[in-house]
Amino acid sequence: MKFTFDTRYAHSPKDIQHLDTTELREEFLMPDIFEPDEIRLTYTYNDRMIFGGVTPIDELLEIVLDKALGVDFFLQRRELGIINIGGAGKLTIDGETQPMAPKDGYYVGMGVQHVVFSSDNPKTPAKFYVVSTPAHRNYPNKHLPFANALAKPMGDQTHMNKRTIYKYIDASQMDTCQLQMGYTVLEPGSSWNTMPAHTHARRMETYMYFDFADPDTRVFHYLGKPDETRHIALSNEQAVVNPSWSIHCGVGTTNYSFIWAMCGENQTYDDMDQIPMSELR
Ligand SMILES: O=C(O)C(=O)C[C@H](O)C(=O)CO
Ligand SMILES: [Zn+2]
């Protein structure tokens, strides 16, 4: 099993004025998330979120992080959200087995010692996207089937942003210390997500874009202060870190989906500052 644990640092909004394309990608993009029988994680200094992919094929995979976090085991002072974007798999949580159908989610509370990931069939492997945030107490583990996600239809065809936001880990449904997580599915013919753009200085956010309609699909993810924006061109199954001070929105050359995850000062999903279009530069 190969384990990758990258670091991404926190920035001032002024920093991105000086970054060229390569540097911008090195600082904000996580290019390869799902590699066979690998765990690939990124630790961002933005609210210390850890996010990435766990892709078991023939092996059982477990995230082992102790010295790197100065703890005895990974979830000693953290909670974990999981969404399976691949085939059927399983989690074994401190010895108890939990089937994970395609699109299933799971919340693992602080204090759990072992989370083991596996695929049911190596030909149709599970792909577990995971996000972990610092925690201060245990809340109960919870299986989060896709059918139970809170579905919020948004947008319209005229604005090319017809989409459904599926909230898996949401404060109205369950307790967590910080983590909120879910995913957004754009309809065919729609390409803009979260437009008008918004900021939420109270929370940082990460995104993992996936389910691209064809290999040449690209999503252009926008970041920066509203009056000083940059973009990053993304291929399928790549992720980006968005600092609290940054807008985010994106446009694809086809429709697509993305998993978002947030943490920080509050758990109020609708606490967003919409940016008037006249302020974008
Ligand atoms: O398309 C959208 O709109 C979103 O998915 C918005 C994200 O969930 C978000 O940015 C929450 O703050
Ligand atoms: Zn947001």
Asked whether residue 280 is domain-assigned, the answer is no
- Give, in order, the Cα–Cα distances in Å from 75 to each of 25, 165, 184, 226, 264: 29, 28, 27, 36, 18
Ligand 1 centre to CA of 194 (Å) is 5
In a domain, 218, yes or no: yes
Report the pLDDT averaged over residues 61-80.
98
Report pLDDT digits (tens) over 152-171.
999 999 999 999 999 999 99
> What is the token pair recorded at 231?
């973009």
Domain holding 90, by residue range, is 2-274
Ligand nearest to the CA of 180: 1
Ligand 1 touching residue 208 (CB < 6 A): no
Number of domains in the chain: 1
pLDDT recorded at residue 1:
85
On whether 205 is known to bind a ligand per the annotation, the reply is: yes
In-domain check, residue 281:
no
Atom 10 of ligand 1: nearest residue by CA position:
194
Give the pTM: 0.98
In a domain, 210, yes or no: yes
Q: Is the ipTM of this complex over 0.90?
A: yes
**Does the Cβ of 163 fall within 6 Å of ligand 1?**
yes
Nearest CA to ligand 1 atom 11: 269
Q: 185 CB under 6 A from ligand 1?
A: no
